[in-house]
Amino acid sequence: MDGKAQRDGANNGKRLTVTMELDTLDCPICFEPLKPPIFQCSVGHFLCSSCRSKYLDNKCHICSARTTFTRCFGMEHVVQSVKVPCTNAMYGCTKYVTYYQKVEHEKACAPWVCAAWGCFCPVPSCTFLGPTDSLVDHLTTDHEIPSTTLPDSDTVSLRLQLGLHVLERNRTDYFFLLKLSLVATGHAISIICVQPSTTEPKFTCNMNYDCSATGFCESSSCHIRSSSLYDGFPEGFDLILPNGKIPDDRNGILLRITIHQALSVSRANLQGNGPTSAPQGKVIAFALQRTWSTMGTLAVAKTVAGSADEVCTATGDDGASATLMSPSRQGFTE
The H-assigned helical ranges of 9-125 are 49-52, 73-81, 102-108
Asked if 126 and 164 touch (Cβ cutoff 8 Å), the reply is no
Per-position DSSP letters for 57-87, written without gaps between them: T-B-TTT--B---EE-HHHHHHHHH-EEE-G
How far is 165 from 180, CA to CA, in rounded Å?
8
pLDDT per residue, tens digit, the chain (334 aa), is 344 444 444 445 567 777 888 788 999 888 999 999 999 888 889 999 988 888 767 788 888 888 888 899 999 999 999 998 887 776 667 788 999 998 888 777 765 555 546 788 999 888 888 888 889 999 999 999 999 999 888 899 999 999 999 999 887 889 999 999 999 988 999 999 998 776 677 899 999 998 877 788 899 999 999 888 988 899 999 999 988 887 766 778 889 999 988 654 333 333 333 333 333 333 333 333 333 322 333 333 333 333 334 444 444 444 444 444 433 333 333 3
Asked if 280 and 235 touch (Cβ cutoff 8 Å), the reply is no
How far is 268 from 283, CA to CA, in rounded Å?
10
- CATH numbers and ranges of domains, the chain: 4-81 (3.30.40.10), 117-260 (2.60.210), 268-330 (no CATH)
Q: Would you say how long the chain is, in residues?
A: 334
How far is 304 from 277, CA to CA, in rounded Å?
14
How far is 225 from 233, CA to CA, in rounded Å?
11
The confidence score (pLDDT) of residue 298 equals 33
By three-state DSSP, how is residue 232 classified? coil
**Calculated CA dihedral for residues 265, 266, 269, 272, nearest 10 degrees:** 50
How far is 91 from 163, CA to CA, in rounded Å?
26
Asked if 228 and 120 touch (Cβ cutoff 8 Å), the reply is yes
